[in-house]
């Protein structure tokens, strides 16, 4: 098996090493499956140079502000702008960027009223170039793939990773191989992978089956894997938290709430928070909470039934297909950051997800179903007293509304939960399309009906 080194051509042997999350083994190289050579657990990126010369917090904040005025590609990227906390490249021209990051932080006044919290925000990662948070990690990992000389990159995906990877592979002149579970991802996401030119395989299995197969493939073929097992992905995804804190003027929110699937994103956000505190960019930690769909609740069960000591896998089933994952790869990393920040882990039902998604839509923002678990989870955390009315809460919306139009249309047409005992509660949120004769009278009468 070939390896991915920090000293590959074009990349300086400099500011980072690979560290095993279980045994702590440090290495300059990682094998293609990104697992520890000693114990087989996952790797993360560590920055030993920070011990010798700690980056100065005030200087970093000022440099990141100044870069907003620059027109160079690395400064226009809302990921590479924070490159001081990322693995360094010797030549910034090597960066593959679509100007990812730079995502808005919206206030959610209506959802705040519904949930009973005073300060509620959405960090909308669905406003990234391919419509999901994956782009923030992909720009970093795809860049390192190209620097390491790989011709092929590959991923297993519930849809968003494949869309993102296909785009960055195309931009970087690499070939992309996508493995997705047949019939279990949205057409929108599949259409992106096709359009960006990836070799797209629909496998007769679920996401967990696709990921298992990919892990076998990268041990046999010179293919660089771009799943979130790849620690470079998580380094890029850290910037979500850095940009968020910058947008909040470095005032630390009390809670950050994120959906959990394969658990890479929660791990990345948690790593960023811990590093920002270590570097004194922030003086305290927000509580980072993870919300899962009830039908794909491996982390919830891992924490409740096994005390976070071993993974409790589940057969995953949910219409929030992005998080339809039963065997999350980064569960240990996520369990660690939940504990370190004092966050909670909750599950929500299909009905609660649909309800919350429509409420976020009614704010004029919208998101995909997997993102809406955050609002549904917040409602539970408020009821439990874990989140207090006066606290500041940020929901991480991970995907764009347009990622899964079937879900939205089924909901508004009443196909989803239609006529059931719970249907009445949802009716006020449904806005079904109305078919009319093309007459002024018909449109006028409709106007009156809704007045």
Q: Which residues bind ligand F0G (CB under 6 A)?
A: 132, 157-161, 228, 259-266, 322-323, 368, 370-371, 398-399
Nearer of residues 6 and 186 to ligand F0G, judged by Cβ: 186
In whole angstroms, the minimum distance from the beta carbon of 367 to ligand F0G comes to 8
Q: Please give the structure tokens belonging to residue 56.
A: 């100065």
Nearer of residues 75 and 208 to ligand F0G, judged by Cβ: 208
Nearer of residues 327 and 398 to ligand F0G, judged by Cβ: 398
In whole angstroms, the minimum distance from the beta carbon of 224 to ligand F0G comes to 16
In whole angstroms, the minimum distance from the beta carbon of 159 to ligand F0G comes to 5
Nearer of residues 32 and 230 to ligand F0G, judged by Cβ: 230
In whole angstroms, the minimum distance from the beta carbon of 128 to ligand F0G comes to 11
At a CB cut-off of 8 Å and minimum separation 6, what does 280 contact? 57
In whole angstroms, the minimum distance from the beta carbon of 366 to ligand F0G comes to 13
**Strand, helix or coil at 5?**
strand
Nearer of residues 299 and 382 to ligand F0G, judged by Cβ: 299
Tell me how far apart the alpha carbons of residues 111 and 88 are, in angstroms, rounded to a whole number: 40
- Angle 296-302-303 (CA atoms, 0-180°, nearest 5)? 115
Beta bridge partners of 105: 123
In whole angstroms, the minimum distance from the beta carbon of 270 to ligand F0G comes to 11
At a CB cut-off of 8 Å and minimum separation 6, what does 438 contact? none
Q: Do the beta carbons of residue 293 and residue 314 sit within 8 Å?
A: no
In whole angstroms, the minimum distance from the beta carbon of 265 to ligand F0G comes to 3
Tokens 């809406």 belong to residue: 372
Tell me how far apart the alpha carbons of residues 45 and 158 are, in angstroms, rounded to a whole number: 25
Q: Provide the residue count of the chain.
A: 451
Nearer of residues 89 and 190 to ligand F0G, judged by Cβ: 190
Tell me how far apart the alpha carbons of residues 134 and 232 are, in angstroms, rounded to a whole number: 12
Nearer of residues 115 and 186 to ligand F0G, judged by Cβ: 186
- Angle 180-149-80 (CA atoms, 0-180°, nearest 5)? 75
Nearer of residues 285 and 353 to ligand F0G, judged by Cβ: 353
In whole angstroms, the minimum distance from the beta carbon of 51 to ligand F0G comes to 29
In whole angstroms, the minimum distance from the beta carbon of 160 to ligand F0G comes to 3
Q: Greatest CA separation found in the chain? A: 76
Q: How many of the other CB atoms lie within 10 Å of CB of 284? A: 9
In whole angstroms, the minimum distance from the beta carbon of 389 to ligand F0G comes to 27
Q: Do the beta carbons of residue 83 and residue 12 sit within 8 Å?
A: no
At a CB cut-off of 8 Å and minimum separation 6, what does 415 contact? 409
Tell me how far apart the alpha carbons of residues 416 and 258 are, in angstroms, rounded to a whole number: 24
Tell me how far CA of residue 181 lies from CA of 20, 193, 325, in angstroms: 30, 14, 11
Q: Do the beta carbons of residue 7 and residue 28 sit within 8 Å?
A: yes
Q: Which helix (H) or strand (E) holds 369?
A: helix 369-383
HSE-CB at 153 with a 13 A cutoff on CA atoms is 34
In whole angstroms, the minimum distance from the beta carbon of 144 to ligand F0G comes to 19
Nearer of residues 87 and 261 to ligand F0G, judged by Cβ: 261
Nearer of residues 115 and 162 to ligand F0G, judged by Cβ: 162
Nearer of residues 64 and 411 to ligand F0G, judged by Cβ: 411
């Amino acid at each position: 098996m070939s390896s991915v080194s920090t000293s590959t051509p074009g990349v300086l042997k400099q500011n980072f090493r690979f560290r095993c999350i279980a045994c702590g083994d440090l290495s300059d190289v990682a094998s293609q499956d990104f697992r520890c050579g000693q114990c087989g657990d996952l790797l993360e990126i560590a920055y030993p140079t920070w011990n010798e010369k700690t980056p100065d917090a005030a200087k970093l904040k000022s440099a990141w502000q100044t870069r907003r005025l620059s027109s160079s590609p690395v400064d226009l990227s809302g990921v590479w702008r924070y490159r001081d906390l990322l693995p360094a490249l010797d030549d910034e021209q090597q960066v593959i960027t679509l100007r990812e990051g730079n995502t808005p932080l919206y206030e959610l006044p209506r959802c705040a009223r519904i949930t009973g919290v005073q300060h509620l925000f959405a960090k909308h990662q669905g406003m990234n170039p391919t419509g999901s948070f994956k782009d923030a990690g992909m720009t970093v990992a795809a860049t390192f793939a190209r620097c390491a000389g790989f011709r092929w990159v590959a991923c297993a995906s519930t849809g968003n990773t494949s869309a993102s990877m296909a785009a960055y592979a195309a931009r970087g002149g690499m070939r992309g191989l996508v493995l997705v579970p047949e019939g279990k991802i949205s057409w929108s996401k599949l259409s992106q992978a096709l359009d960006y030119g990836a070799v797209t395989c629909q496998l007769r299995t679920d996401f967990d089956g696709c990921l298992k197969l990919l892990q076998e493939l990268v041990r046999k073929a010179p293919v660089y894997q771009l799943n979130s097992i790849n620690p470079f992905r998580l380094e890029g995804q850290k910037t979500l938290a850095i940009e968020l804190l910058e947008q909040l003027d470095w005032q630390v929110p009390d809670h950050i709430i994120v959906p959990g699937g394969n658990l890479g994103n929660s791990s990345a956000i948690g790593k960023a928070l811990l590093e920002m505190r270590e570097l004194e960019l922030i003086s305290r930690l927000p509580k980072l909470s993870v919300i899962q769909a009830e039908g794909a609740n491996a982390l919830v069960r891992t924490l409740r039934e096994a005390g976070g000591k071993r993974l409790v896998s589940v057969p995953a089933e949910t219409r929030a297909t992005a998080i339809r994952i039963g065997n999350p790869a980064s569960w240990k990393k996520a369990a660690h950051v939940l504990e370190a920040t004092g966050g909670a882990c909750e599950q929500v039902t299909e009905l609660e997800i649909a309800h919350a998604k429509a409420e976020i839509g009614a704010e004029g923002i919208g998101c995909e179903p997997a993102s809406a678990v955050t609002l549904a989870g917040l409602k539970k955390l408020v009821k439990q007293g874990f989140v207090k009315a006066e606290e500041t809460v940020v929901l991480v919306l991970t995907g764009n509304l347009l990622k899964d139009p079937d879900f939205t249309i089924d909901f508004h047409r009443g196909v989803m939960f239609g006529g059931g005992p719970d249907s009445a509660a949802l009716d006020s949120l449904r806005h079904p399309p109305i078919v009319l004769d093309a007459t002024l009278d018909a449109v006028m009468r409709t106007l009156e009906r809704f007045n």
